[in-house]
Amino acid sequence: MSASPKPLTEAALLKMPESAYMNVAQLAFFRARLEALRAEMLENAADTGLHLKETENVADPSDRATVEEEQQLEQRVRDRERKLLKKIDQALARIENGDYGWCLETGDPIGLPRLLARPTAEYSIEAQTRHEQQERLRA
């Protein structure tokens, strides 16, 4: 009976040659990272639901305002997390169809350092910069 392979670390990932880009081990690493992030988001969402149900009957108007402000802030954070959850699901789908790690615009590698920093990245740094510049021009 053989031992299961040791999980890949970030350092080991970065030491791999360019020719190994998005090999089976790297894809497994990012799949595990995305699934862990997804589980964390779902747990946070469940905690928020419980927290928001614990509505306090606060008689003092300033205390009530504080509670409402905290709830609004928490809902904004969860809204961002919902958007991130969608991006995580899209990234997991790209792993399944073989597109993960490759820029959706240029087809070039996104790069391991960028994917480690932002595992849901869809574009290379150059393409992302162009998108952001175009958004600023439209705004």
Identify whether 117 is part of a domain: yes
Q: Which of 124, 32, 120 is nearest to 83 (CA)?
A: 120
* DSSP classification of residue 17: -
Say which amino acid occupies 41: M
Identify whether 45 is part of a domain: yes
Q: Is the pLDDT assigned to residue 6 strictly greater than 70? A: no
Write the Ramachandran bin of 9: left for phi over 0, alpha for psi from -120 to 50, otherwise beta: beta
Identify whether 106 is part of a domain: yes
Identify whether 7 is part of a domain: no
pTM for the whole structure: 0.78
Crossing angle between the packed helical segments 24-53 and 61-97, to the nearest 10 degrees? 160
**Domain that residue 86 falls in:** 20-138
The residue that leads in pLDDT, 120 or 8, is 120
- The CATH number given to whatever domain includes residue 55 is 1.20.120.910
The count of structural domains within the chain is 1
Identify whether 34 is part of a domain: yes
Three-state helix/strand/coil letters over 64-118: HHHHHHHHHHHHHHHHHHHHHHHHHHHHHHHHHHCCCCECCCCCCECCHHHHHHC
pLDDT tens digits along 19-31:
999 999 999 999 9
Identify whether 4 is part of a domain: no
Identify whether 9 is part of a domain: no
Count of residues in the chain:
139
pLDDT tens digits along 72-91:
888 888 888 889 999 999 99
